[in-house]
Amino acid sequence: MIEIFNNLALGFDHALTLENLMYCALGCTVGTLIGLLPGLGPLSTISLLLPITYSIPASGALIMLAGIYYGAQYGDSVSAITMKIPHASSIVACIDGYAMNLKGKTGLALFTAGMSSFIGGTVAIVVLSTMAPALGEVGLLFGPADYCALMLLGFFCVSFVSSGSLLNGLAMALIGILLGVIGTDVNSGMMRYTMDLVFLQDGVGLISIALGCFGIAEIVKNLDAKNTLTPFNGKIKLIPTWAEFKRIIPSALRGSLIGSVLGILPGGGPTIAQFAAYAADKRFSKHRDEIGTGAIEGVAGQAAADEAAARTSFIPLMAIGIPENAVMALMLAAFIVKGIQPGPNMIGTHPDLFWGLVASMWVGNCFLLILNVPLVRYWLSVFKIPYTVLFPCILFFCCIGTFSINNSLDDIFITSVFGFIGYLFLRLGMEAAPLMLGFILGPMLEENFRRAMLLSRGDFSAFVTRPISGTLFAVIGAIVAWQLFVFMRKGRKKDAALQVQTQND
C-alpha cells in the first residue's frame, strides 16, 4: 500500500507540472466539444491530432490524447440528453436522460451525468492504480468461447434495456443482429446481404444507425406532433435533493464497478458497459419501475460505467501492450511514435510516464467537473432557440458528423433511411435501444463463435467445459429460469384477476 502511495506521489509530481496541466486541460476541453457534435468522436479527433503530437513531449502528448478520449465520453451525454442524438457510448443516455429532458429536468440530468462521470472516473482510477498489472493478465484468460458466452449474456440484457414488451425487445435485438452481418464476411471474404450495392460492402455504420434511429427519428416525431421541445422555463434545477442523492450514489457506484471490469476486456469498453449498467439498475434499483420513464438512476449508472470503462481500457494497453478498441490502437501508435513500448515492462522502465498518465486522469476528472457543471446553464440555453430554427441545425450537424467518418454521401443516405425506419419504430411503440445492442454484440458473437468452433474442432462441449464460459452459461441459465418464473407468475396473477372480475360481473 505504501508503494502505491509513493507511485501516485511520483505520478502527481509529474502530472501537476504547468505544461502537463495545460495539455490535460486542452485535451478535456477538446474532447468535451467533440463529444457535443453528432457523429464525431475521440477516434476521428485523435486520428487528426496524432501528427501534431510529434512536436509535443511524450508525457504531454499522451496526457492530451487521453483527455480527449475520456472528455468525449462526457460530452456525448450532453447531446444525448438534450437532443436525443447519441454517440456509440451514450445510446442508453437517450432513454431516461431524454425523458428527464422532456419533463423539464434537463439541468438535473446533466448535473447527474457530470457527477456520476466523476464518480466512475475516480473508481476506475483507483482500480487502474492498484491492480493494473494483475487485471491486465485477466484479459488474457478469456478465450473465444468465453467471449462468446459473455456476448450471449449481453443479449439477455435486452429484457432489462427494453421498458416495453420483452418480445418486442427481442425482436428489435434480432433486427440489430441481422443488420450487423451486412457486408463482407471476415472469414470467407464473401459479400452478405449487400443487394449488390457497393457502399454496403463494409457494412452499415454504427453512427448512421444511431443518428438515424435516435436523432432524425426524434426530430420527425416532434415535427409530426408539432412539439416545440422547449422544456426550458427559466428555472434551472441543478443540485439534486438529498432523496435524489441517495438514488444517484448506489447507481453510480454500481455503474463504476461494472464499467471498470468491462473496460478491461477486449470488445467491452464504454459501449457495452452502459448497457450492462442499465440492466443492473433495472434489476437492483429500489425504483426499478420508474427506469425507462425518466428515472435519475438511468442517467447515473450508465454515465458512471461509460467513464469508468474509458479509463480502465488503458489497462490492457499499458499492462500487456494489447489495445482493446480502435481508440486504444491509436494510443498504442502514439506510444510507439514516442519510442515507448507498452507492456509488462513499461511500469519499470517508464514509471514517471505510467504513473503520470494515471494521475493526470484524476486531474482531468476534476477539470471535467469544473468545466462542465457551470456550463449546464449554457447547454440549456439551446431550448431558447425556436424549434423551426433548431431542427435544421441538428440535421445539418447529423449530416456533417455522418459524412466526416468516411467522406461519403452514401453514409448520409443510409442515415436518412434509418431516420425513417426509426420513426416507424416510434409510431409502432418499438424501442431502438435493443436494436443497437443486437447490432453491437451480433458481429462479435459470430466472430468469437467461429473461433471457438475452429479451436475445438467443432466440439460444442468447449463452451461448458471451460471454467469462465461454463460459469457464464450457468448465469444465463439462471436468468432464463428467473424470467420464465416471473412470466408465469404474472400470468397466474392475470388469470386470478380475470376470474375475480368474471365473478363480480
pLDDT of the residue at 253: 92
Other Cβ atoms within 10 Å of 20 Cβ, number: 22
Q: What percent of the chain has pLDDT over 70?
A: 84
pLDDT of the residue at 435: 84
The pLDDT tens digits for 226-247 are 555 544 444 566 778 888 888 8
Of residues 452, 478, 484, the one with CA closest to residue 465: 452
Position 379 pLDDT exceeds 70: no
Q: What percent of the chain has pLDDT over 90?
A: 2
Position 161 pLDDT exceeds 60: no
Contact by Cβ (8 Å): 86, 303: no
Cell of 31: 474532447
- Find which of 27-41, 320-334, 426-440 is predicted with most confidence, using mean pLDDT: 426-440
The whole-angstrom distance between residue 279's C-alpha and the CA centroid of its chain comes to: 13
Calculate the alpha carbon distances from 34 to 42, 45, 46, 68, 316 in Å: 7, 8, 11, 8, 25
Q: What share of the chain is helix, strand, coil (3-state, %, to 5)?
A: 75, 0, 20
- 3-class DSSP state for residue 282? helix
In this prediction, residues 377-399 reach a mean pLDDT of 72
Other Cβ atoms within 10 Å of 198 Cβ, number: 9
Residues 6 or more apart in contact with residue 269 via CB below 8 angstroms: 89, 262, 263, 309, 310, 313, 324, 325
- Classify residue 476 by burial, with Cβ atoms within 10 Å: 0-12, 13-18, 19+: middle
E strands present in 418-498: none
Backbone angles phi, psi at 231, to 5 degrees: -75, -10
Alpha helices (H) along 373-432: 376-380, 387-406, 409-427
Position 98 pLDDT exceeds 70: yes
pLDDT of the residue at 77: 79
Task: Work out the widest C-alpha separation in the chain, in whole angstroms.
Answer: 83
Mean pLDDT for all residues in the chain: 79
The pLDDT tens digits for 10-47 are 888 888 899 999 999 998 888 887 777 665 667 667 76
Position 419 pLDDT exceeds 70: yes
Contact by Cβ (8 Å): 91, 345: no
Of residues 293, 289, 292, 303, the one with CA closest to residue 251: 303
Residues 6 or more apart in contact with residue 452 via CB below 8 angstroms: 143, 144, 145, 148, 462, 463
Least confident segment among 85-89, 101-105, 359-363, 391-395: 85-89
Backbone angles phi, psi at 192, to 5 degrees: -125, 125
Q: Give the H/E segment covering residue 62.
A: helix 58-83
pLDDT of the residue at 254: 92
Say which residue, 473 or 164, is predicted with more confidence. Answer: 473
CA dist., res. 433 & res. 86, Å (int):
11
Calculate the alpha carbon distances from 449 to 145, 177, 252, 459, 469 in Å: 7, 14, 33, 11, 12
pLDDT of the residue at 298: 87
pLDDT of the residue at 22: 92
210 confidence band (pLDDT: 50, 70, 90): confident
Position 337 pLDDT exceeds 80: no
pLDDT of the residue at 439: 84
Position 426 pLDDT exceeds 70: yes
Say which residue, 239 or 320, is predicted with more confidence. Answer: 239
